[in-house]
Structure 1
């Protein structure tokens, strides 16, 4: 898979993410996909496999009424594609002990994508 193909796949994934299209996201993943979320230097969430990823994505979808990832830069190496992300989202419900529904969050982070064949087999988000 060349860099242009990797970029096109990541762009399709992010478009599906922004549209809350869980089926569209999952269709781009390998059966054994690994997902990791890192916040503040701590690994906070992991899933292994498409079914576990789908369950987490469904749960996350309910948290936001609006969400958008926007890529600000791309970096390609043989093992992965790294994108710097500007993220914004509006909470759809109160977070216990945290912000209330309607609060807009804005974060900067990065996502690292690994590939197997023509699918994403590893996704790690860092914020």
Structure 2
């Protein structure tokens, strides 16, 4: 499980630094990425190309962002993490969130 933890921590470090290359360094071409919020899948991506495209787009949304891992749950073929998340928006959003607002 140590390899999974290292891969996830490397991804999180890259995410926090806006470093897409670091984020994807350990990812497989056939990655399946799911973001789950409140038990609902808010984003599902298949393949490294789709993941990179989304990551590049998402970089523009934030002036600052920080994920901190709270816990790991390892399963046979996957790992689930719980995170604390903070961010400062870099732009206004249609849903009313404003540039400079902290999440």
TM-score, normalised by the number of residues in structure 2: 0.89
2:59 to 61, 64, 77: 61
In structure 2, relative to structure 1, the CA distance for the partners of 1:20 and 1:82 (3 Å cut) is same
Structure 1: runs of 5+ lacking an equivalent: 106-127
TM-score, normalised by the number of residues in structure 1: 0.74
Give 1:77's aligned residue.
75
Give 1 or 2: higher helix fraction: 2
Give 1 or 2: higher strand fraction: 1
In structure 2, distance between residues paired with 1:13 and 1:5? 12
Report deviation, 1:71.
0.8
In structure 2, relative to structure 1, the CA distance for the partners of 1:83 and 1:42 (3 Å cut) is closer
How many residues are aligned here? 103
Q: What RMSD over aligned residues (CA atoms) do the two structures have, in Å? A: 1.5
Higher relative contact order (CA 8 A, sep 6+): 1
In structure 2, distance between residues paired with 1:51 and 1:97? 28
Which aligned runs of 4 or more in structure 1 are off by greater than 4 angstroms? none
Structure 2: runs of 5+ lacking an equivalent: none
Report deviation, 1:44.
3.1
Report deviation, 1:27.
1.8
